Amino acid sequence: MADLTSNFLGIRSPNPFWLASAPPTDKEYNVRRAFEAGWGGVVWKTLGSEGPPVVNVSGPRYGAIWGADRRLLGLNNIELITDRPLQTNLDEIRRVKKDYPDRAMIISLMVPCDEESWKDILHRIEDTGADGVELNFGCPHGMAERGMGSAVGQVPEYIQMVTEWVKMYSKLPCIVKLTPNITDIRRPAEAAKRGGADAVSLINTINSITSVNIDSFSPEPMIDGKGTHGGYCGPAVKPIALNMVAEIARSPETRGLPISGIGGVTTWRDAVEFMALGASNVQVCTAAMTYGFKIVQEMISGLSQYMDEKGFASVDEIIGRAVPNVTDWQYLNLNYVTKAHIDQDACIKCGRCYAACEDTSHQAIDMGPGRVFTVKDDECVACNLCVNVCPVENCITMVEMPKGATDPRTGRVVADYANWTSHPNNPMSKAAE
Amino acid sequence: MSNSPLTPGVVPGRLPADVLARNFSDHEPPLAAHEARVAADRCYFCHDAPCMTACPTSIDIPLFIRQIATGTPEAAARTILSQNILGGMCARVCPTETLCEEVCVREVAEGKPVEIGRLQRFATDTLMEKGVHPFARAAATGRKVAVVGAGPAGLACAHRLAMKGHDVVIYDARPKAGGLNEYGIAQYKAVGDFAQAEVDWLLRIGGITVKTGMALGREVSLAELQAGHDAVFLGMGLAGVNALRAPGEDLAQVRDAVDFIAELRQAKDKAALPVGRDVVVIGGGMTAVDAAVQSRLLGAETVSIVYRRGQDRMSASGYEQEHATSAGVRIICNAAPVAVHPAGAGVEVEFAYMADGPDGLKPTGETFRLRADQVFKAIGQTLTGAPEGLTVSGGKIAVSGAGRTSVAGVWAGGDCAAGGDDLTVTAVAEGRDAAEDIHATLMAARA
């Protein structure tokens, strides 16, 4: 079986599957059960300053969207940081870490944006035995209204400033958790790096309203007739998170900055995808909240099988493997020509490809007698929509045209690699002149 | 004291009341709301959907299923009922396995079609339980149409005519409206007196008078109807039953399956219904299956369906055949009745094995006998009492176009008319289309 050992910033864990800072990691009872179930590490639910703890609503904290059979696709929450006394959390962290020395124990922190507050909290956590800190600059609801969480994460200067304080007052590895509620994820990541962060973790949750009750006209989750935006997570946010991770991994300014990948990781495969795009490990929350801690067994077995099949000796071999293949649109090969092909044996004749292409795309599919659907190569622009709407996997595939062949749509011969930067239609073209 | 399946002869109460109640309860329970959403989610919303083409009433199936999936079963019901006003009964009795569900692309792909019939029932039940009748009459035309037969064809025709603003009088020979929906469908397919509830709901369109106990050629003649109305629609079904043409057919133990089924449907107390210990049903259609299965459900010990041709020629679908065999009915094929012999209190039915060759069915020379306390004939119904002057072809009223008979002003549809399968859904389509043609004709005449 493959060696899943993870080493993130010198913090070792038996596997790269950590539980994210969230309700599952709010107390000793949960975290002990998580470690027993096999999780490699946890980021303890965010601690605040000493003093009266925050209070949570006593109505619903979560909203959700579902598939037809109630498969949970996306979850949102308006829960704040831990609402338990600081000392209780500190005592529990110390006890748990002592009993599970091989697991990663990270403490998530969120205190007011002043130097004293950060200095104080860092001092208080010093003797817990924790392996590192994660700065919660991400939560988009509640705490942000008080100038914390994403209110900090949306201002690169604040990120840098606070990170500098943390590095000044603590020797622990510092992970800066980023909010996706920004326009360009590279800016906060650069700020974290400038501030001395050892790593970034992303994404935190996305501002959202999961649904509206169209009888009472209140947003969900609803508290006494009102609702507020909450943080969205779960499978639905994964594509957004993947892109943001990749952007940081491939940016010249932040390349090499370790990343902990978060956002809709539900299966071992999701984890591999995050790692391939540059994450060193992953953090999981919604999947555990949906199915319980046991899912980590599938993640461990799936990753092991994959690594064995690929011959990867270490998870490090996965990290960043797809990053060189993430590029800008302008560098895509405009001479890569494909055509949709429908496997008539696999086709069940539902006609969805036809409806999609005829109504909304390029009228490139013909419907013949007996409901035989065929692609008109002279119309097909290879948009892939038919592939995406076809209910049968691999029934429609995109077949690459060989070099030298003539594309019947354009009448042009398929040529060698060439991209937009040198295209004659590009006014900025740097073509040989 | 009480009887059991082993009690000799033809006796009631072979099974305890709770078992009988279970046996005659909903054959396929309705979908709950969540089940319906999950079932609806399986629909691919096909382009030019094969299911819709296969439906004799051309219900927009992908649309109604999407309406269920999005939480509006009432809108789904309107989609169904606008094409098929008896969509509630059709959802229960349609042989969907040979119509819409047979051609469902998921049947093709996985052998597991979208459950169109059950979804249709979910939609129509939801609307009908709310007591909503979704259609209103157009302005009165002052025209009056006579409809003969309050079965699926007649009801569909009457409803569509009433909707167009015509006044309709339905004449039916039986004491209750509904036709085969009321008298000819197996009990477990239409529980809860659904047929009557549906008729009552349908009549809420208004403008329809139902006169029961009025048979064409008995209480009323075609000439009288023509004289008193602007148009006549004939949808009286097939009241006659084919004969075995075998000696012994007149013995008291030999009955028409349709009578047994009707009796069963009308019986409030199934425990009071006598059934034989050994039952033989002759025929290969749905009537044969319904009679055989219900005999078993009443507690008959052995029930055999005997059909003269091969199993693949049975008009009962594979699904129906499987339903019969899983109820403990034995299906014997390639055997035709030769004679019915008295044997003690019962009879012995003598069958000849048959071979289906290029020259038609021929006896192989081999025979066998089945003991029976009851023999049910289910070898097809025939048209009786067709009014004189109407052209009859192949034993049915000849029609052209949308049910036009050879006599101007007289239309026909359903089982009594030539063409189309003898299915509830086909009868509904024919009644509906004849109504549209009657309407067009009457309006053109007025203009």
In order of A401, A402, A404, the CA distances from A416 in angstroms are: 12, 10, 9
Instruction: Tell me the CA end-to-end span of chain A in Å, nearest whole number.
Output: 57
Q: Which of A69, A211, A214, A348 to mutate to test the interface with B (most CBs of B within 10 A)?
A: A348
Q: Which of B44, B47, B50 sits opposite A354 (nearest CB)?
A: B47
Q: Is B45 on the interface with A (CB under 8 A)?
A: yes
Count, residues in chain B:
447
Q: How many CB pairs below 8 Å do chains A and B form together? A: 39
pLDDT in tens, B381-394: 999 988 989 999 99
Predicted pLDDT of residue A430:
65
Q: Which of B34, B41, B42, B46 to mutate to test the interface with A (most CBs of A within 10 A)?
A: B46
- B42-129 and B144-239+383-446 share one fold: no
Asked whether the beta carbons of residue A355 and residue B40 sit closer than 8 angstroms, the reply is no
Q: Which CATH class is domain B42-129?
A: mainly alpha
Q: Are A336 and A419 in contact (CB under 8 A)?
A: no
pLDDT in tens, B410-423: 999 999 999 988 89
Q: How confident is the model at residue A433 (pLDDT cuts 50, 70, 90)?
A: very low
Q: CATH fold of B144-239+383-446, please?
A: FAD/NAD(P)-binding domain (3.50.50)
Give dist(CA A312, CA A253) in Å, integer: 29
The dihedrals phi and psi of A28, each to the nearest 5 degrees, come to -55, -45
Predicted pLDDT of residue B27:
86
- Tell me which chain B residue has its CA closest to the CA of residue A391: B44
Is A383 tagged catalytic?
A: no
Angle at A297 between CA A296 and CA A301, to 5 degrees: 115
Asked whether the beta carbons of residue B46 and residue A351 sit closer than 8 angstroms, the reply is yes
Catalytic residue among A113, A139, A380, A390: A139
Predicted pLDDT of residue A80:
95
For chain B, residues with pLDDT lower than 70 are 1, 447
Q: Is A71 on the interface with B (CB under 8 A)?
A: no
Q: Chain A partners of B69 at a C-beta cutoff of 8 Å?
A: 68
Q: Are B272 and B365 in contact (CB under 8 A)?
A: no
Give dist(CA B348, CA A117) in Å, integer: 101
Asked whether the beta carbons of residue B47 and residue A392 sit closer than 8 angstroms, the reply is no
Closest-CA distance of chain A to residue B102, Å? 13
Q: CATH fold of B10-22+241-377, please?
A: FAD/NAD(P)-binding domain (3.50.50)
Percent of chain A residues past pLDDT 90, beyond the cut: 95
- Write the CB contacts of A172 (distance below 8 Å, at least 6 apart in sequence): A122, A130, A131, A132, A133
Predicted pLDDT of residue B116:
98
Give dist(CA A411, CA A413) in Å, integer: 7
Q: What is the mean pLDDT of chain A?
A: 96
Asked whether the beta carbons of residue B46 and residue A367 sit closer than 8 angstroms, the reply is no
Give dist(CA A290, CA A285) in Å, integer: 9
Closest-CA distance of chain A to residue B106, Å? 7
As a whole number, mean pLDDT of residues A361-371 equals 97
Asked whether the beta carbons of residue B44 and residue A352 sit closer than 8 angstroms, the reply is yes
Asked whether the beta carbons of residue A371 and residue B50 sit closer than 8 angstroms, the reply is yes
Domain chopping of chain B, boundaries? 10-22+241-377, 42-129, 144-239+383-446
Q: Chain B partners of A350 at a C-beta cutoff of 8 Å?
A: 44, 46-47, 105
- Write the CB contacts of A1 (distance below 8 Å, at least 6 apart in sequence): A304, A308
Q: What is the pTM of this model?
A: 0.90
Give dist(CA A134, CA A281) in Å, integer: 14
Q: Has residue A429 got a pLDDT over 90?
A: no
Predicted pLDDT of residue A241:
98
3-state secondary structure of A312: coil
In order of A148, A179, B16, B381, the CA distances from A176 in angstroms are: 14, 10, 74, 82
Predicted pLDDT of residue A182:
96
pLDDT in tens, A235-252: 999 999 999 999 999 999
Q: Is B108 on the interface with A (CB under 8 A)?
A: yes
Mind listing the domains of chain A with CATH numbers?
6-325 (3.20.20.70), 329-422 (3.30.70.20)
Q: Are A414 and A335 in contact (CB under 8 A)?
A: yes
Predicted pLDDT of residue A300:
97
**Residues of A numbered 291-350 whose beta carbons fall under 8 angstroms of chain B's beta carbons: which are they?**
348-350
pLDDT in tens, A222-238: 999 999 999 999 999 99
**Residues of B numbered 206-225 whose beta carbons fall under 8 angstroms of chain A's beta carbons: which are they?**
none
Q: Which of A69, A348, A354 sits opposite B108 (nearest CB)?
A: A348
Closest-CA distance of chain B to residue A263, Å? 27
Asked whether the beta carbons of residue B41 and residue A351 sit closer than 8 angstroms, the reply is no
Asked whether the beta carbons of residue A367 and residue B109 sit closer than 8 angstroms, the reply is no
